[in-house]
Chains A and B, each alone.
Chain A
Amino acid sequence: MKFEIMRDRLLDGLSDVMKAVSSKTAIPILTGVKMDVSADGISLTGSDSDITIQTFIPAEEDGKEILRVSEGGSIVLQARVFGEIIRKLPTNEVEIEINRNFQTHIRSGKSEFHLIGLDPLDYPQLPDVQEEELFSIPADLLKTIIRETVFAVSTSETRPVLTGVHWEVKDGELVCVATDSHRLARRKTKLQSLQEEHSAVIPGRSLNELNKILHDSADPVEVVMTSQQVLFKSRNILFFSRLLEGNYPDTSRLIPSEHKTQVTVNGRALLQAIDRASLLAREERNNIVRFTTNGSEEVEVSSNSPEIGKVEEQLAAGAIEGEELKISFSAKFMMDALKAIDGQDVVIQFTGAMRPFILRSALDDSILQLILPVRTY
Chain B
Amino acid sequence: MGRIRLMDEPLSNKIAAGEVVERPASVVKELVENALDAGGMKIEVLLEEAGLLRVQVIDDGNGMDSEDAELSFARHATSKISNEHDLFRIRTLGFRGEALASIASVSKVTLSTSDGTVGTRIQADGGRITGQSAAALRKGTDISVEQLFYNTPARLKYMKTLQTELGHIIDLMNRFALSRPEVAFRLVHSGKVLLETAGSGDIRRVLADIYGVQTARKMIPFEGATHDYRVSGFISLPEITRANKNYVSIFVNGRWVKHYAAVRAIQKAYHTYLPIERYPIAVIRIEGDPYLTDVNVHPSKQQIRLSKEAELLRLIEEAVKSAIRNAVKAPVIEKKPQQRQPRRDAQLEFWKAASSPEENSIPVQTPSDKPAGQVTGEVEQAPPSSGKLPSVGETASSYPEAEPEPVGGWSEGDTSDGESGELREEAKPFPELEVVGQVHGTYIVAQSKDGFYLIDQHAAQERIKYEFYREKAGEVDSSERQTLLLPLTFHYSRDEAYRLRHSLDLLHSSGVFLEEFGDTSFIVREHPAWFPEGAEQETIEGLIEQVLTDRKTDVKKLREEAAIMMSCKRSIKANHFLQKHEMERLLADLKAADQPYTCPHGRPVIIHFTSYDLEKMFKRVM
A179 close to chain B: CB less than 8 A? yes
State whether A286 touches B529 (Cβ < 8 A).
Answer: yes
B472 close to chain A: CB less than 8 A? yes
B372 close to chain A: CB less than 8 A? yes
Name A121's contact: one of B353, B358, B361, B469 (CB within 8 Å). B358
Give the contacts of B508-528 with A (CB-CB under 8 A). 526
Given contacts A156-B535, A254-B485, A375-B526, contact A284 B472 (CB under 8 A): yes
- Report B134-151 CB contacts with A as 1/0, cut-off 8 Å: 000000000000000000
Given contacts A43-B353, A126-B355, contact A158 B361 (CB under 8 A): no
Distance to closest chain A CB from B132 (angstroms):
60
State whether B361 touches A374 (Cβ < 8 A).
Answer: no
A128 close to chain B: CB less than 8 A? yes
Nearest A residue to B475, CB-CB: A306
Distance to closest chain A CB from B360 (angstroms):
6
Name A374's contact: one of B331, B342, B351, B483 (CB within 8 Å). B483
A319 close to chain B: CB less than 8 A? no
CB within 8 Å: A-B pair count: 156
State whether B533 touches A242 (Cβ < 8 A).
Answer: no
State whether A181 touches B480 (Cβ < 8 A).
Answer: no
Give CA–CA (A132, B349) in the complex, Å: 16
Distance to closest chain B CB from A302 (angstroms):
14
State whether A47 touches B362 (Cβ < 8 A).
Answer: yes
B357 close to chain A: CB less than 8 A? yes
Give CA–CA (A46, B479) in the complex, Å: 49
Query: Which residues from B are CB-within-8-Å of A228?
Result: 334, 364
Query: Which residues from A are CB-within-8-Å of B18?
Result: none
Distance to closest chain A CB from B191 (angstroms):
35
State whether B484 touches A238 (Cβ < 8 A).
Answer: no
State whether B529 touches A374 (Cβ < 8 A).
Answer: yes
Interface residue tally of chain B, by bracket? Answer: 35 or more
Interface centre among B358, B362, B479, B536 (most CB of A within 10 A): B362
Given contacts A130-B340, A285-B529, contact A372 B485 (CB under 8 A): yes
State whether B351 touches A238 (Cβ < 8 A).
Answer: yes
Give CA–CA (A181, B489) in the complex, Å: 12
Give the contacts of B285-343 with A (CB-CB under 8 A). 329, 331, 334, 336-337, 340, 342-343
Name A285's contact: one of B340, B360, B480 (CB within 8 Å). B480
Give the contacts of A5-53 with B (CB-CB under 8 A). 26-27, 34, 36, 38, 40-41, 43, 45, 47, 49-50, 52
State whether B484 touches A54 (Cβ < 8 A).
Answer: no
Give the contacts of A47-78 with B (CB-CB under 8 A). 47, 49-50, 52, 54, 56, 74
List 29 interface pairs A-B (beta carbons < 8 Å), by A numbering.
Answer: A26-B369, A36-B353, A49-B362, A49-B364, A50-B364, A50-B365, A56-B350, A121-B357, A123-B356, A123-B358, A124-B358, A125-B358, A125-B362, A127-B334, A128-B336, A157-B372, A158-B488, A181-B484, A182-B482, A228-B364, A233-B347, A251-B485, A285-B530, A286-B533, A328-B480, A330-B482, A330-B529, A375-B526, A376-B479
Which are the 8 A-B pairs with shortest beta-carbon distances?
Answer: A155-B534, A158-B537, A43-B354, A125-B361, A124-B362, A156-B534, A375-B481, A372-B483
A126-B362, A128-B334, A254-B485 given; name 4 further pairs at CB < 8 Å: A124-B362, A245-B366, A330-B482, A330-B529
Q: Which residues in A have some Cβ–Cβ distance to B below 8 Å?
A: 26-27, 34, 36, 38, 40-41, 43, 45, 47, 49-50, 52, 54, 56, 74, 120-128, 130, 132, 154-160, 162-163, 179-184, 228-229, 233, 238, 240, 242, 244-245, 249, 251, 254, 284-286, 288, 328, 330, 354, 356, 370, 372-377
